[in-house]
């Protein structure tokens, strides 16, 4: 398999991954994508509006004129399709499975996450939604590979279908399912770096060890993906076990470990109202909101 060689730079395509379920992967992917989209909005003073030639990049955001410096695409790779539900979106027939099978173009499969008409502007956040159809598409691609004696390159097919997305979007965030298979290896070819959420409990620690080992094994095979950040989630600092697990993460992974996301009722409630943590806590006062913002800044600044 021919591997893409990239110059090492600030990663723009990030896979949110962990073999263990229930570690807040989707919550982290949604909030990271939305936070980065907010980072790409630049406030424009009234005096400077007329000086800007690219008028199509100007949007109204909560009563202020903003300049859109780039767009963010959230890709849902879990057949459960929770990203659309969490963002409160009706995606219609748009579906990543249809895109991978060549039955939809990228423009047909991607939907805007903007909800300005409901008071929640997301002018530069987009979603490539998923459904049970993704499993059908995945099995079809695997079958095609088997019929071709392994010559059909699933990773290349994924790259081909998402090529225009790489050109158009400043960031692409991949919300990955916990199961590892050939399709996940294709994702590793596409992504530049991995964000790994982990709960501070024993089984999650075992899961992250296995997952990091898988990523490093992929690196040994020439797949150009790096471990960007390990994100402790649902942390209760005053619990001894949580602190011990955090200390173990720091001992093993050092600076790759981000500031923990504390357990918060707001984080749990926000998806039920189809909002991100930044919308549910607009003042940014909750410790979990602060921690997610620091994760966004960490990725934004490389």
Q: Where are the domains of the chain?
A: 13-300
Q: Which residues contact 20 (CB under 8 A, 6 or more apart)?
A: 178, 198, 199, 203, 204, 206, 207, 208, 211
Q: What is the DSSP string of 79-121?
A: TT-HHHHHHT---TT--HHHHHTTSS-HHHH-EE--BGGGTB-
Whole-angstrom distance, CA of residue 36 vs CA of residue 294: 11
**In the prediction, which pLDDT does 21 show?**
80
Evaluate the CA torsion angle 117, 121, 123, 126 in order and state its sign: negative
**In the prediction, which pLDDT does 2 show?**
40
Phi and psi at 180, nearest 5°, equal -100, 130
**In the prediction, which pLDDT does 3 show?**
40
pLDDT digits (tens, 9 = 90+) for 195-248: 999 987 766 666 666 667 667 666 666 566 788 999 999 998 788 888 888 888
pLDDT digits (tens, 9 = 90+) for 89-111: 999 999 999 999 999 999 999 99
Residues of the chain with pLDDT under 50: 1-8
13-300 to CATH, choices 3.50.50.60, 2.30.29.30, 3.30.1200.10, 3.40.50.300? 3.40.50.300
72-76 and 64-68 strand pairing: unpaired
**In the prediction, which pLDDT does 51 show?**
83
**In the prediction, which pLDDT does 221 show?**
62
Q: Which residues pair with 43 in a beta bridge?
A: 66
Whole-angstrom distance, CA of residue 205 vs CA of residue 203: 5
Pair 39, 301: CB distance under 8 Å: no
Whole-angstrom distance, CA of residue 165 vs CA of residue 55: 23
The conformation of residue 259, written as its DSSP 8-state character, comes to P
Nearest to 129 by CA among 183, 86, 163, 166: 86
Q: pTM of the entire structure? A: 0.90
**In the prediction, which pLDDT does 114 show?**
97
């Amino acid at each position: 398999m021919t591997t893409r060689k990239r110059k090492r730079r600030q990663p723009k395509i990030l896979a949110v991954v962990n073999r263990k379920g229930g570690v807040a992967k989707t919550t982290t992917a949604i909030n990271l994508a939305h936070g980065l989209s907010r980072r790409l909005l630049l406030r424009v003073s009234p005096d400077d509006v007329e000086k800007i030639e690219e008028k199509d990049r100007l949007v109204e955001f909560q009563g202020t004129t903003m300049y859109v410096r780039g767009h963010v695409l959230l890709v849902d790779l879990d057949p459960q399709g929770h990203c659309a539900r969490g963002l409160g979106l009706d995606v219609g027939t748009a579906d990543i499975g249809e895109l991978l099978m060549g039955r939809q173009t990228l423009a047909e499969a991607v939907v805007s996450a903007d909800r300005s008409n409901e008071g929640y502007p997301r002018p530069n956040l987009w979603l490539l939604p998923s459904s049970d159809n993704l499993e059908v598409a995945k099995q079809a691609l695997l079958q095609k590979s088997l019929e071709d004696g392994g010559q059909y390159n699933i990773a290349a097919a994924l790259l081909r279908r998402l090529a225009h997305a790489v050109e158009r979007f400043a960031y692409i965030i991949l919300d990955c399912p916990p199961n590892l298979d050939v399709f996940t290896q294709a994702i590793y070819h596409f992504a530049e770096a991995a964000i790994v959420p982990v709960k501070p409990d024993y089984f999650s620690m075992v899961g992250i060890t296995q997952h990091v080992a898988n990523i490093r094994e992929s690196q040994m095979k020439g797949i150009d993906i790096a471990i960007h950040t390990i994100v402790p989630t649902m942390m209760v600092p005053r619990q001894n076990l949580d602190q011990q697990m955090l200390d173990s993460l720091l001992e093993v992974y050092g600076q790759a470990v981000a500031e923990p996301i504390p357990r918060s009722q707001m984080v749990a409630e926000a998806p039920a109202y189809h909002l991100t943590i930044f919308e549910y806590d607009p003042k940014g006062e909750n410790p979990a909101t602060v921690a997610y913002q620091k994760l966004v800044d960490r990725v934004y600044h490389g």
